[in-house]
Chains A and B, each alone.
Chain A
Amino acid sequence: MSTPRRIVFVVAWWLLLSALAFVVRRDLVVDSDLRSFMPPARNADQKLLLDEIGNGPASRLLLLGISGAPPERLAALSHGLARTLRNDPHFARVLDGETDAVALDPALLPYRYLLSPTLDKVALDTTFLRDQLEQRVEDLSSPAADMLKDLLPRDPTLEVLALAQRWTPAKVPLTRDGVWFSPRGEALLLAQTHAPGFDPVAQAEAINALQTAFAVLPDFAAAQLTISGPGYFSVRVGESTRAQAEWLSAFGSLGFVALLLLAYRSVGVLVLAALPLASGALVGIAALILAFGSVHGITLAFGFTLLGVAQEYPIRVFSHRRTDADARTSVREVWSLLRLAIVSACIAYVAFFASGVPGLQQLAVFTITGLLVAGAATRWLLPAVLPVHFRDAAESRGLEPTRAWLAALPRPRWLPWLLFALALALLWLAPTPLWQNDLAALTPVPPALLAREGELRDALGAPDVRYLLVLDAQTADDVLRLSESISPQVEQLISAHAVDDVELPSRYLPSLATQRARQATLPNRATLTAALDAALQDLQFQPGLFAPFIEDVETARTLSPLTPAEFARSPFGARLEAMLVPRDEHWLGLATLTGVHDPAAFAALAASNAGQVRLLDLKAASEALIAQYRERILQALGVALLLLALTVAIAFRDLHRAWHVIAPMSLATLLVLAVLRISGVSLSLFHLVALTLAAGLGLHYALFFERKVENAAEARRTLHATLVCVISAVLVFGLLATSTLPVLRAIGLTVAMGVAFHFCLSILMAQGSQES
């Protein structure tokens, strides 16, 4: 192709990619819910777990503290912030200690005799009423009289206050100027987001709204707003991971560009090298949009890392060009091996698809599409635009001595076996558990933030995010009955300090049976009037003052008991609604716990209730879930390795040569594992992904070294291409390995070390080119 036509072709290719990029950008919906990287739930418990992780009320709570100013200022800021946030669509509930409506809906007032347990112990008779009325006289002579005066005629026994007390959590913060304060003197608030706790993007929006609301309050600058809670952590961790990854990738890319310039001495090559990869990436994203609708952020980040393999395709083409053949011929000569490498890599990624985890399936679709497109672009498009004039890589300075030195290295046959034995020994001696099931350990929250979280959670008496008491029964009312029946046992656990507080659903609404039983004990109008008259003897209350009370008791006698659905309309209804969850033909009651000190103590509670009550440890359950699907990935990877060996054997039609390719790849992977394990690293999903990537790169090295070549120049070209690939991979991933974040370090270290081992072992064991 002539130079002008080539330029037109390259420009057209770029324009096409830009158009595709525009469409992709327009249609791309990035999803950030971490549950996409969890396997689909297989039973009710797992479904509950996935709902609760991030969606439960506890994980949607943001804990806020305002400090650094005099208490009155802090109280005013707290009030102001709460008022703004209550009108903000990001938040479902904002509490700052302001005396909120503990009162019942007026229409529900007569229900107080069915809801309050007071009359379970005493009857509404003269003795009880007399005692209560005497106390009211005393109340009227106290400064609190004014608050009670309006209530007394309707509620002389103060059942409404008894209910309010029952519904107040056991541990509430100190209140000053109507606002919660911590012992350290900071104003405290609780804000519940609509967004799930582990959707960092949606949480970031809510946190942004929160910070904006704070920053427009008068005199906000004098005070500091502290935010804590699971949602905030997921945002912070996401931000710091992204920031570090971007920095390190930018340095890596600069190094890569410099390396390409050094290796090929041409700026044009830089432009061309980017084309196949960019094509693969864009078509890969387009495929994801078509197949899944939305794309997970992690899929994109990981996908681009995995697609890095495709950078090798143009490099192989550049290094293997010969001056005595045209571009197409040169490409055709390496294509059979490249094709084999692409097919093998795709087989490995099919294993991720088989995992059944939506995030990994997306990753597989993206990587496989990307590799196929990048491969095809390298094979059929790239040759058309390669420059006519170029420098034969075989003539690079210093290459021949290096090749000769490598070729002359001793290759004792026992060395691989020794390494194999050594790797097994190291794996056997490894000091730590094989698997790291706690995904959070890879993206740890800074200890200072965690300590603050602990303080705020303690001061606010906010519920535990890890534990949940699950009550399982046939109907919602059965759940309430069960809740009532375990209440004494739960009280014992609280007094034994196994837990600070348990918020059972029956705290808010008794079962229908209990309500009916209470109704049955209420006296009729005549009896109550007589009892009240007797109780009022020589007390100075105005005659007829308590008529509304008699009216309410009479109403309560004939009410139909309050159902959860009806109760949902009252201010506390939302609380109960969140605690009662319908699930496949039966109902679950979710009781939140505060301050769990002894989880084991709940075993007896579960045992004595025939499995209807259990303590759900969200952390342990999610770890078990991860362990379970990792098994599936490992099985799939095992099958993939077999298929891969078969593919290579078929391609070479020679078991001996296939062994030369598979053996160094497997041994290098084993060695990486051994080094990681002996240095105390427990493996995670990220390590598996990184190992797969390294193995894909290693396969290239072994394949090309094993290739039979006719002359020393071609052997030099192979070495040139491989060196460019190895150095660039070690550079990019070695930089990631220097990260302070465990997840980036895991990927960087594993791939960089893997690439080095694969290269050395390929030199040692794949010897096709050297033998000829």
Chain B
Amino acid sequence: MRLLKKPLLMRGELDYGGADKLGKRVEQPYRETTMIAGASVDVQREGRTPRRFSLDRAPELQALLVGFSALLGGDAVALGKFYTVSLVDKATNWTLTLTPREPALTKHLREIVVDGTGNESQCFSLHQADGDASVMLLGALAATKLADPPTLPALAEICHRIAP
């Protein structure tokens, strides 16, 4: 991330409650719970007063979360509304690339890449327009030992990314 000297590393749990319910719990290096229900987001951090804000204040954030939720829920129609979807697969591994349709979204987000094997998503990567990126390793991959600092190509390798 361009503001930072080296990438941030966090560990935690994702909790998908169906439709528009999504929870994220960070356990390390600090503790934070984010709950998204409908249009409102609740953020609770240890030792601070909880915050609540509305997704509508940030349409680009909403598109992102709708996309994520549609992906987890397997809702191809909702996904297609916001993104053009391309899929490549090789043997049991696959890579799904989502490119946002709306100009408001492309201004910030270049693409979302999901890597998986069989029925399972393993990596969820956000590539932003300014070159910053975040990579989420899911399931078994979450236990992977990472280099310090981790680099994007190294992470792509771990995710078994298939170049388009």
Nearest chain B CB to A233 CB, angstrom units? 31
Q: Assess whether B108 is in contact with A140, with CB atoms less than 8 Å apart.
A: no
Docked CA distance A506–B64 (Å) = 38
Minimum distance in angstroms from A147 CB to a CB of chain B: 6
Contact of A99 among B45, B57, B108, B109 (CB under 8 A): B57
Residue from A176, A177, A178, A545 within 8 A of B3 (CB atoms):
A545
Q: Write out, one digit per residue, whether chain A residues 376-420 have a CB within 8 A of any chain B CB (1) or not (0).
A: 000000000000000000000000000000000000000000000
Residues of B within 8 A of A178 (CB): 56, 59
Chain B interface (Cβ within 8 Å of chain A)?
Answer: 1-6, 8, 10, 26, 30, 32, 34, 39, 43, 45, 48, 54, 56-61, 64-65, 108-109, 128, 130, 132, 134
Inter-subunit contact A140/B3 (CB<8 Å): yes
Residues of A with C-beta under 8 A to B130 = 149
In the complex, the answer to whether B65 meets A143 with C-beta atoms within 8 Å is: yes
Q: Are B4 and A138 in contact (CB under 8 A)?
A: no
* Chain B residues positioned under 8 Å from A140 (CB to CB): 1, 3-4, 8
A interface list, Cβ under 8 A from B = 97, 99, 134-135, 137-138, 140-147, 149, 152-153, 174-178, 540-543, 545
Task: Establish whether residues B4 and A542, one from each chain, have CB atoms under 8 Å apart when the complex forms.
Answer: yes
| Contact between B58 and A147, CB atoms less than 8 A apart | yes
Q: For B128, what are the chain A residues with a Cβ–Cβ distance below 8 Å?
A: 146
In the bound complex, residues from chain A placing their C-beta under 8 Å from that of B4 are 140, 540-542
Do the beta carbons of A174 and B39 come within 8 Å of each other?
yes
Assess the B56–A541 pair: CB atoms within 8 A: no
Q: Tell me, in angstroms, the Cα distance from A178 to B39 when the chains sit together.
A: 11
Interface centre among B4, B10, B34, B57 (most CB of A within 10 A): B57
Contacts A138-B30, A143-B64, A176-B39 hold; do A149 and B3 have CB atoms under 8 A apart?
yes
Assess the A138–B45 pair: CB atoms within 8 A: yes
11 CB contacts below 8 A, A to B, read A99-B57, A138-B30, A140-B8, A141-B10, A143-B65, A145-B132, A149-B3, A540-B5, A541-B5, A542-B2, A542-B4
The distance in angstroms between the C-alpha atoms of A153 and B130, with both chains bound, is 16
Could you tell me the distance in whole angstroms from the C-beta of B62 to the nearest C-beta in chain A? 9
Q: Indicate the member of B1, B26, B108 with the most A CB atoms within 10 Å.
A: B1
Do B3 and A153 touch across chains, with their CB atoms under 8 A apart?
yes
| Contact partner, B39, options A135, A137, A175, Cβ 8 Å | A175
Nearest CB in chain A: distance from B125 CB, A:
13
With CB as the reference atom, state the residue of chain B lying closest to A131: B48
Report the Cα distance A134→B29, complex, angstroms.
11
Closest A residue to B8 by CB, please name it: A141
A146 in complex: contacting residue of B8, B32, B39, B60, CB < 8 Å: B60
Chain B residues within an 8 Å CB radius of A146: 60-61, 108-109, 128, 132
Compute how far the CA of A421 lies from the CA of B111 in the bound complex, rounded to whole angstroms: 93
Q: Complex Cα distance A30/B65, Å?
A: 57
Which partner residue on chain A sits nearest B130 by CB separation?
Answer: A149
Please tell me if the beta carbons of A175 and B56 are within 8 angstroms of each other in the complex: yes
Nearest-Cβ distance from residue B153 to partner chain A, whole angstroms: 20
Q: Which residues does chain A contribute within 8 Å of B134, judged by CB atoms?
A: 141, 145
Interface majority SS on A: helix, strand, loop or mixed? loop
Residue in contact with B60 in the complex, picked from A138, A147, A545, CB distance below 8 Å? A147
CB distance from A99 to the nearest CB of B (A): 6
- C-alpha gap A152/B4 in the complex (Å): 11
For B3, B4, B45, B54, the residue with the greatest tally of chain A CB atoms inside 10 Å of its CB is B3
- How far, in angstroms, from A140 to B8 measured CA to CA in the complex? 9
CB distance from A149 to the nearest CB of B (A): 6
Whole-angstrom distance between the Cβ of B1 and the nearest chain A Cβ: 7
Asked if A144 meets B61 with Cβ closer than 8 Å, knowing A174-B39, A178-B56, the reply is yes
Bound CA span A146–B59, Å = 12
Compute how far the CA of A92 lies from the CA of B43 in the bound complex, rounded to whole angstroms.
Answer: 38
Question: Bound state CA distance, A143 and B23, in angstroms?
Answer: 12
CA–CA, A545 and B130, complex, Å? 16
Q: Is the CB of A143 within 8 A of B61?
A: yes
Check A152–B57 contact: CB distance below 8 A. no
B83 to chain A, nearest CB (A): 16
- If A149-B130, A176-B39 touch, whether A540 touches B57 (CB-CB below 8 Å) is no
Within the complex, what minimum Cβ distance (angstroms) separates A398 from chain B? Answer: 80
Which residue of the partner chain B has the closest CB to A97? B56
The reply to whether A175 and B8 contact each other, CB–CB distance below 8 Å, is no
Q: 5 nearest interchain CB pairs?
A: A175-B56, A540-B4, A540-B5, A146-B108, A141-B8
For the complex, give the distance between the alpha carbons of A153 and B2 in Å: 11
How near does chain B come to A572, taking the closest CB pair, in angstroms? Answer: 17
Q: Would you call A175 and B26 a contact (CB within 8 A)? A: no
Query: Are A175 and B57 interface neighbours, CB within 8 A?
Result: yes
Q: Do A542 and B58 touch across chains, with their CB atoms under 8 A apart? A: no
Give Cα A134–Cα B47 distance, bound, in whole angstroms: 12
Report B-chain residues with C-beta under 8 Å of the C-beta of A141: 8, 10, 26, 134
CB distance from B128 to the nearest CB of A (A): 6
Flag if A137 contacts B8 (CB, 8 Å). Answer: yes
- Rounded to whole Å, the gap between the CB of A184 and the closest CB of chain B is 16
- Expressed in whole angstroms, the Cα–Cα distance for A326 and B164 within the complex equals 114
| Distance in Å: Cβ of B15 to nearest Cβ of chain A | 15
Residues of chain B within 8 A (CB-CB) of A99 are 56-57, 59
Query: What chain A residues lie within 8 Å of B108 (beta carbons)?
Result: 146
Measured CA separation A140–B130 after assembly (Å): 14
**Which residue in chain B gives the minimum CB-CB distance to A149?**
B3
Q: Which of B43, B59, B132 contacts A149 (CB 8 A)?
A: B132
Cβ distance A459 to chain B, nearest Cβ, rounded Å: 15
CA distance A714 to B140 in the complex (A): 119
Given the interface contacts A138-B45, A153-B3, A542-B3, does A147 sit within 8 Å of B61 by beta carbon?
yes
Q: In the assembly, what is the distance between CA of A361 and CA of B40, in Å?
A: 59
Query: Can you name 19 extra interface pairs (CB under 8 A) apart from A149-B3, A174-B56?
Result: A99-B59, A135-B45, A140-B1, A140-B3, A141-B8, A141-B10, A142-B34, A145-B134, A149-B2, A175-B56, A176-B56, A177-B56, A178-B59, A540-B5, A541-B3, A541-B4, A542-B2, A542-B3, A542-B4
Smallest Cβ-Cβ distance to A141: which chain B residue:
B8
A72 to chain B: closest residue by CB: B81
